Structure 1
């Protein structure tokens, strides 16, 4: 028997959880929320330093790229959350919205209603920020945003080196000054627990009688009759099921799954679909295109003394910290291990920061250890650097008409010379910070990329051999007004009635920060678009977007 709901949401990730929460505020509206993964009750999902749970195959889709043509044909892993909360359940929990100009640029591209003044109210509605309610932050939203405790994380030496080099200093990357070196924020609550989209938005409303949550439910096809969506096919517990949507089907599966489901349903590039045996019902050439991602890399410097977080990973200390976290929600395990969050420009003439640097108080592969047992780990400080305003664009397409086949994905990283040059400059900038006291006095030697990697040509080759991504992909169902746009500014799929896409895939360009907070903002704004309401714009004073 086909069940019927007013709205069917595909994907219980960062945006899907928000939309389910907001739509069911109206008791007269029924919502079915489908999630292909399972529930988010594992212990490590809650732990701030447990984000390495993304390595577990059951928690993510285990996507990877095709051989990347500009990276020596390497395949890049692309973990995406396959669990309630989506990637917000397995991510690093760093809270970063991006720059105001990112959103103003969307408006300039024809996305009316998506400028910074339009989206700021939705960022604020989503959060309870540790700073309290104010011009730039909310104080009563579902998402808990906490300050990273930097007291044991080699924070001050990094900050002092930045001051000596003349970088801007900010105590809030989302306040008056959106660039510079400062402390970071994290999506954890006051007890040191992860504040995922599932825990923030679903947990408080699970008992609503008008909300049905189905896990292990894999969507396979959108049903369309006479140009209008009528429902959805999905598989659950090995059984094929169909659900009817009286009002809308809302895709919130993310940057890879939402375009995949569109194409499986005949909505996408017509010639490509025909080539794999799918009869197109709506020719939308932009589906799967415009893929944008933050390319990044790690650097590591060995320290003269054992001053890094590795000390806290000694087995006995770790056990005590775990107990302290479980009982009191305090200690090193209750917060992210990030010494400093920096947003800077690779060239002074740029309008906004194009680099994001995370200074970390430990090596990238740090792991628990026992005194006198096994190989000794060298104490190192590390930096994760990424290019947040990339020009390179990739694509994704179906491998076959089988819904279980993973899509073909190419990020096409470092295909644009501008991206290569900015990344090379960033390596030199990171080195300059480490060569400046008081940070320099703590360092023994550079480990990665290593002293032998000198000069632009050598750095470029090292980047092509080692480049990674920071899992901030967007753009495959881009919002806009041109022929390549997939959804309009109301997030309605062009050419099909009763169908919207509401997740990171609609972002026409990638914001200059982590994408979890912007995805939650998209969910908040999408819910209002669906309900036919909106929050008033919040204008901010001139010059907010620049540190110059």
Structure 2
């Protein structure tokens, strides 16, 4: 017999774990959560600095890569996506940011009713257990712990002083009244120094409920659609192929790559593209897989005059003590992020909101554990992430074939407009302005990348093309809206099919101007109320 549930959630990532918790609060509702990956049992998922060993690890990653891009010299970029309970919230850098209020007001202006900043703020507050305590912008008793990076050992004071000397403002709270300026970094780490993934913050407490069922290592391969309604899912798991039925709704929470892929495999997508792969269209939805937005970035680096960076903490004996200290007390240098601070800035004064985010890292990007007797020690280097917040470029997600286990074809199409180059160049100029001020100017020996010899726009554009990366914030491929090309409406219901919703970053009309994990969790909190008619 085919098993039946009230709600079937596909994907136990940042959004899916939230939905599983909230929907199973109703004892009369039977909920199934499906995850293609496995459990997050390793201690590396709990130790904050463990992300350096779990991010893009083949054991916990989908292994996706973008199509080679001629604009990037033919490079194909890795697209890390968590394939484990908690999804990307279990392997990301834990930075907690919401973006600017105008990001969400922009959604409402695009026709997404109920998604302005005033509409979503209560859900940000509801999900938080903030180190700040309760207030008009923050919550104190939500499932998600948010803490502050204490940067005394991370050169935070020196960075802050140079930022101030360069003329940039500061902010006490980038999620509060002033959403621009320099601030200490906030992260999803609890008071015990453990990563607060959605698997641990939302899912673990809910698994004691008898009405919530979790299946891991089980991949959805096709939606079951009858007479215009999603009635279930076909799955492949440890026991082989099976089908499950949904009495109320099927909810896709696979993320900006996997959710559009499953829709297309099920006959919902651009009709011509589906027929190319011998899939009979059920709904011709040209917007599925379009509007892919990502935050592009480049890293700048500076050689230090003295051994003052976090590389000193990676001496093997010190690192071993730090792991032990974290395990016993939840404290020490491995119990949080290694970020000196974050600066949200406008590269042009006429802009209404920041267009660049700078993340200051007091360590080289390829830092390794080292032995004090080793002769081949790495040089001490300071790094800065220059991230463009509102790219104009848009990419696509398409099927490689009708095989549900084939990786999707992802074309990021980055740097497709002159404005994207200009924004990043403006961010590079801001970093140089900051590092020209003491005390950082006194600490730095030389600019390594792009290098002081690259000054004009043409030289910088070559550097950007050759070194561009992504921040792993894909969004927009199942865009929300009320126009005909929108994939889901403002209630996140898939157009043309009943009983089917998408709840993840793919519904975002535009990517928020910040790290997006907090926004994804907010979307899931709000969607849970919609699904329960609250």
What's the TM-score once normalised by structure 2's chain length? 0.99
Find the aligned partners of 1:257 and 1:240 in 2 and give their Cα distance: 19
For 1:360, the equivalent position in structure 2 comes to: 361
User: How far does the alpha carbon of each residue in 1:70-114 deviate from its partner, in whole angstroms, 9 at most, with x for none?
Assistant: 211110000101000000000000001111000000000000000
Partner in structure 2 of residue 43 of structure 1: 43
Identify the residue that residue 223 of structure 1 maps to in structure 2: 224
Does residue 351 of the first structure (1) align with residue 347 of the second (2)? no
C-alpha deviation, 1:448, in angstroms: 1.4
> By how many angstroms is 1:428 displaced?
1.5
- Where structure 2 has 5 or more consecutive residues not aligned to the other structure, the ranges are none
Determine the structure 1 residue equivalent to 2:112.
Answer: 111
- 2:190 & 2:376 partners in 1: Cα distance? 36
Partner Cα distance (1:121, 1:151) in 2: 33
Which residue in 2 is equivalent to 1:507?
Answer: 508
TM-aligned CA deviation for residue 423 of structure 1: 0.7
SS at match of 2:48: coil
Deviation at 1:238, TM superposition (A): 5.5
Q: Contact 1:167–1:180 at 8 Å: present in 2 too?
A: yes
Aligned to 1:521: 522
Cα drift, residue 451 of structure 1: 2.3
Q: How many residues align?
A: 533
Q: Does the 8 Å contact 1:23/1:31 carry over to 2?
A: yes
Distance in 1 (alpha carbons) for counterparts of 2:89 and 2:221? 23
Deviation at 1:42, TM superposition (A): 0.8
SS of 2:350 mapped into structure 1? coil
Q: CA deviation at 1:431?
A: 1.1
Paired with 1:7 and 1:369, the residues of 2 have a C-alpha distance of 50
**Partner residue in 2 for 1:98:** 99
Q: Please give the root-mean-square deviation of Cα atoms over the aligned residues, in Å.
A: 0.8
* Cα distance in 1 for residues equivalent to 2:70 and 2:483: 28
d(CA) in 2 for partners of 1:50 and 1:454?
37
Q: Is residue 2:170 matched to residue 1:169?
A: yes
- CA displacement 1:121-160 (0-9 Å, x = unmatched): 0011011000001010010000000000101111111111
Question: How far apart are the structure 2 equivalents of 1:427 and 1:374?
Answer: 34
User: 1:120 and 2:121 equivalent?
Assistant: yes
CA distance in 1, matches of 2:485, 2:124: 28
- What is the Cα deviation at residue 454 of structure 1? 2.1
Provide the C-alpha distance between the structure 1 equivalents of 2:291 and 2:259, rounded to a whole number of angstroms. 14
CA distance in 2: counterparts of 1:55 and 1:265, whole angstroms: 28
| Aligned twin of 1:330 | 331
In the alignment, the residues of structure 1 paired with residue 271 and residue 242 of structure 2 have an alpha-carbon distance, to the nearest angstrom, of: 27
Q: Match of 2:400? A: 399
CA distance in 1, matches of 2:368, 2:204: 32
| Distance in structure 1 (CA, Å) of the matches to 2:109 and 2:169 | 28
Segment of structure 1 superposing worse, 48-57 or 193-202: 48-57
Structure 2 contact 356–388 (Cα < 8 Å) conserved:
yes
Is contact 1:69-1:412 (8 Å) kept? Answer: no
Contact 1:342 1:356 in 2 (8 A): yes
Q: Which residue in the other structure is 1:462 paired with?
A: 463
Q: Find the residue that maps to 1:524 and give its secondary structure.
A: helix
What pairs with 1:50-199 in structure 2 (closer than 5 Å)?
50-52=50-52, 53-199=54-200
Give the ranges of 4+ consecutive aligned residues of structure 1 lying more than 4 Å apart after TM superposition.
none
Structure 1 unaligned regions, length at least 5 = 534-548
Structure 1 residues 236-247: aligned runs within 5 Å: 236-237=237-238, 239-247=240-248
Aligned to 1:372: 373
Offset, 1:374: 4.9
How far apart, CA to CA, are the structure 2 residues paired with 1:405 and 1:217? Answer: 15
Determine the C-alpha separation between the residues in 2 that align with 1:531 and 1:432: 51
Cα pair 2:323 2:334 within 8 Å, conserved: yes
Q: Which residue of 2 aligns with 1:546?
A: none
SS in 2 for 1:333: coil
Secondary structure at the aligned position of 2:357 is classed as: strand
Counterpart in the other structure of 1:540: none
Q: Is the 8 A contact 1:340 1:358 kept in 2?
A: yes
Deviations 1:507-527 (A, max 9, x none): 000000011000000110000
CA distance in 2, matches of 1:38, 1:12: 10
Q: Tell me by how many angstroms 1:237 deviates.
A: 1.2
Q: Determine the C-alpha separation between the residues in 1 that align with 2:489 and 2:135.
A: 31
- Report the Cα offset of residue 212 of structure 1: 0.1
Deviations 1:156-189, CA, capped at 9 Å, x for gaps: 1111111122211012100110000110100000
CA distance in 2, matches of 1:380, 1:61: 31
Q: d(CA) in 1 for partners of 2:97 and 2:61?
A: 22
Shift of 1:500: 0.1
Whether the 8 Å contact between 1:14 and 1:520 is mirrored in structure 2 is: yes
Change (3 A) 1:429 1:227: same
Aligned with 1:391: secondary structure?
Answer: coil
Asked if 1:16 corresponds to 2:16, the answer is: yes
**CA distance in structure 1 between the partners assigned to 2:206 and 2:267 by the alignment:** 34
Q: Structure 2 CA distance, aligned partners of 1:68 and 1:41?
A: 37
1:473 aligns with 2:491: no
Provide the rounded CA distance (Å) in 1 between the counterparts of 2:336 and 2:55: 18
Equivalent runs, 1:491-502 vs 2, <5 Å: 491-502=492-503
Instruction: Tell me which residue corresponds to 1:298.
Output: 299
